[in-house]
Amino acid sequence: MSVIAVVGLPREARIIGMVAVPVIAGGRVDIVRRRIDREIEGSVSGVISIGIAGALAPNLRVGDCIIAREIVVDGKRFKTDTTWADGLAGRLAETKSGAIASVRQPAVDKDAKAALHLATGADAVDMESGIAAEVAASRDLPFAALRIISDDAFDSLPHAARVAMKDGGGLDLAAVMGSLLTRPTQIPRLIGTARNAGRAFRVLLRCRDLLGVGLGCPYLG
């Protein structure tokens, strides 16, 4: 029996892969769905979406951990597994619970975040939890989501950060360099964005160590 971890970025995959769970990384919905479906053909105890996220709620700060109680995607709401979510909260210090909105395109500026917060009531936003929740529900598998805030509700990402991710989840270095060449004034903001992301990744690493093999799933037999 195993747990499938769904992430968006290669760095997240490297962190989570150290606890010997199958990790699915990628930014495109169709790619993620196919990979989840393929992994689920084996013996699976649950699915967890884990990694970094943007804040929608004004009270969330960079480095905060949010444990999802529900996922909001395309007007639908998916409840997470209560036992698993409670277990995560019990093993991790100073977490927050709430809803995560999952979107197809990144919410990259404060106005888009504010609008999404108003429309969904969600506290944070990512791009992977929705598809993970949908597939887990379709297979009647327990589902959990744990995300670390990497940018707050008032932060608009610089253009270079917006074009940085390839469809498969990798870094598009050419796009980043092109953006910096045409918009050099964004460099200080990009440095700040990278610093915040680094902090979030360090928190993710600590969470991984505290949760251990199975990422806190209570159904591993």
Structural domain includes residue 132: yes
87 falls within a domain = yes
221 found inside a domain: no
DSSP 127-144: SSHHHHHHHHHHTT--EE
Q: What is the pTM of this model?
A: 0.87
Residue position matching structure tokens 């892969």: 17
Q: Which range of residues forms the domain containing residue 161?
A: 2-211
Is 217 part of any domain? no
What pLDDT digit, counting tens, does each position of 113-148 carry?
Answer: 999 999 999 999 998 999 899 989 988 999 999 999
Q: Is 219 contained in some domain?
A: no
Q: What is the pLDDT of residues 147-198, one digit of tens each?
A: 999 999 998 766 556 555 655 556 656 666 666 567 777 676 767 788 999 9
Residue 216 in domain: no
Q: What is the CATH number of the domain that holds 102?
A: 3.40.50.1580
Q: How many structural domains does the chain have?
A: 1
> Does residue 220 sit within a domain?
no
DSSP per residue, 61-124: -TT-EEEEEEEEETTEEEEPPHHHHHHHHHHSTTEEEEEEEE-SS---SHHHHHHHHHHH--SE
**What is the greatest pairwise CA distance in the chain?**
55
Residue 218 lies in a domain: no
